Amino acid sequence: MKDSSPGTEPIGQNLIKLIGNLCFSVFVFSVLVFTVVAITYQPPDPWLESAPALTRLFTQSENATFKNDNSILKTGEDLQLSPAGASAAASASPDSGANPITEAVIEKAEEGILGPSSKADPGSCEIAGGAVNCSDPRLLIAVEKFNLRVFKSIVFLEYQAPVSGSKPGECDVAYRFRNKKEKSWRKYRDFRRFRVEIGDNCEYKVMHSGGWHSGTNARRPSRSNATRGTKAKILTPVGDNEINDTIPSLGSDANFRKGRYLYYSPGGDYCKEMNHYLWSFLCGLGEAMYLNRTFVLDLNMCLAATYNPSNKDEEGKDFRYYFDFEHLKEVASIVEEGEFLKDWKKWDKSHKKKMPVRKVVTYKVTPMQLRKDKSSIIWRQFDAPEPENYWYRVCEGQAAKYIQRPWHAIWKSKRLMNIVSEISGRMDWDFDAVHVVRGEKAQNKELWPHLDADTSPDALLLKLKGMIAPWRNLYIATNEPFYNYFDKLRSQYKVHLLDDYRELWSNTSEWHNETMLLNKGRTVEFDGYMRVAVDTEVLYRGKTRVETFYNLTKDCKDGINTC
């Protein structure tokens, strides 16, 4: 055999070298791609699992065109927190230690009263005189078991001692609860009348419960307008004493001077629709958290014409009508604008050295550039023409990688949520719901050619028959202005509409009295945004939920070819 020449390598070795070089090139390219992805990847918002979807909804392009469909955004109490968010929320909760009353908790309490052998020997208990005694701890245990069995969508948190009802065998019980579909730690109240009998085993047995707020003897003491020499009392609605939305004060000059603030001047967001307002407000609050500063909040809002019967923008609305100010104070560092400006003016007037202020006149100065600024006040001013003067422009581009909108900080007003609980409670938390979108969309046949016909009474009845059992409580959340439009459905269902509960915001209601206090004694209108917020929250609590653009029509939510 003839040897290869010294300058010639075998074909096999060349092939191996070629494959090796190719593999090494692929490896280097893979590392390069991985590095680029790692640098540019923006992780999802730890507070809100659907943050990318919301980002696509609000800012689909970089030209700041704001789009929304006038629906109500889910706020913090509706959203499932990630583990990190849940931990932070629990640590901020004023009553996060309140444990739900479960079967295990009830069994432990029962053993403490009757002893561990009580279940083995049911006849060992004796009820004096064979009469129902509302103060007997065993009766409360019977009520707790009944509630767990009947109201499965409710988390029960605490009970008050039962009191006698209006007749023998009746007991009134007040308790605090939370709905399982609400992620907040807020507590709501109910008081019901229970008809109780004594069973063969000498045990209390709840035979029936009254409706929502039927246990009037267990309600909180009412304000009394009793006159001297008479026992007559005029009962007036009692406000929710768990709501604390008073405006905090900064205190002394020294405290004010030590603070570091982020102040946003009004921009083009003023009088825009509420979803736009929230998107911008949470940008500002998120920047304040990123900069470790106190955010200056203007409680005065302008409600867009969309929500007003007059079809005009209305100024002078209070943030606290719509959102939970108490919760916001607990989870974020904020100061009310009036208090802030008063203290700022007072400081500058009484001290030779003025407060250090950094004025920022364009959103193009990023939060990252302000991170090391030592000024006591960073004052962002939005004087450019629209859309350059929108607050949310601050959080676009590179800033979006650093600023996370704190959705957990925004809850709907507890005053509105009390109305939601009242409506749901009156249906015994056992109802189905349908969302019927009509209004301007039903009239626009170019974008929604089938919506009007698909949401007609006949079409609704036909569709719902296949989804909801007859004679169920059916709540209809809708923007249809004609109350009798859904009368045909009453032949098959117990129909409930928001206007069936108008007394909950009438001039004799708790809501009316409490909002008047916020408005310096002037009546507050239950406006269009409040109506949609309550409507939507009741809809969320339905056992079966039927949606317009998913179940009732093939039209797309945002018009033709947008599905």
Q: What is the pLDDT of residues 343-387, one digit of tens each?
A: 999 998 888 888 999 999 999 999 999 999 999 999 999 999 999
pLDDT at 86: 47
Q: How confident is the model at residue 251 (pLDDT cuts 50, 70, 90)?
A: confident
pLDDT at 13: 65
CA distance 390 to 387: 6
**Tokens 């209006």 map to which residue?**
166
Q: How confident is the model at residue 521 (pLDDT cuts 50, 70, 90)?
A: very high
pLDDT at 36: 53
Closest by CA to 367, choosing from 386, 341, 387, 394, is 394
Please check whether residue 431 is in contact with residue 473, taking contact to mean a CB–CB distance below 8 angstroms: yes
Closest by CA to 156, choosing from 139, 133, 140, is 140
CA distance 408 to 101: 25
| 556 to 69, 322, 445, 561: CA distances (angstroms) | 12, 29, 12, 7
Q: How confident is the model at residue 50 (pLDDT cuts 50, 70, 90)?
A: very low
Q: Where are the domains of the chain?
A: 76-93+250-409, 103-218, 414-552
Q: What is the pLDDT of residues 266-275, one digit of tens each?
A: 999 999 999 9
DSSP H helices in 41-81 = 51-58
| Three-state DSSP class for residue 321 | helix
Largest CA distance in the chain: 133
Q: How confident is the model at residue 128 (pLDDT cuts 50, 70, 90)?
A: low
Q: What is the pLDDT of residues 327-348, one digit of tens each?
A: 999 999 999 999 999 999 999 8
Q: For the chain, give the mean pLDDT.
A: 84
**Strand-strand pairing, 163-164 and 357-360:** unpaired
Q: Which CATH number, 3.40.50, 3.30.1560, 3.40.1130, 1.20.1260, labels domain 414-552?
A: 3.40.50
